[in-house]
Amino acid sequence: MCDEELLQSAFDWALRFYQRKGLNAQDAEDCAAEVRLQLLQHLQQGRTLSFAYAAQVARGILADFAQAQQQRPQAMPLEHADSHGGEGAIFGTAGGCALGVGATDA
> Is residue 52 in some structural domain?
yes
Please write the tens of the pLDDT for every residue from 21-71. Answer: 999 999 999 999 999 999 999 999 999 999 999 999 999 999 999 999 988
Q: Considering its fold, how many domains does the chain have in total? A: 1
pLDDT above 60 (res 103) = no
The pTM of the full predicted model, rounded to 2 decimals, is 0.66
Please write the tens of the pLDDT for every residue from 14-34. Answer: 999 999 999 999 999 999 999
Residue 34 CB contacts under 8 Å (≥ 6 apart), including other chains: 61
> Is residue 57 in some structural domain?
yes
> Is residue 84 in some structural domain?
no
> Is residue 20 in some structural domain?
yes
Instruction: Tell me what the mean pLDDT of segment 100-104 comes to.
Output: 46
> Is residue 97 in some structural domain?
no
The percent of residues in the chain predicted with pLDDT above 70, rounded, is 72
> Is residue 105 in some structural domain?
no
Domain with 67, as residue range(s), is 3-72
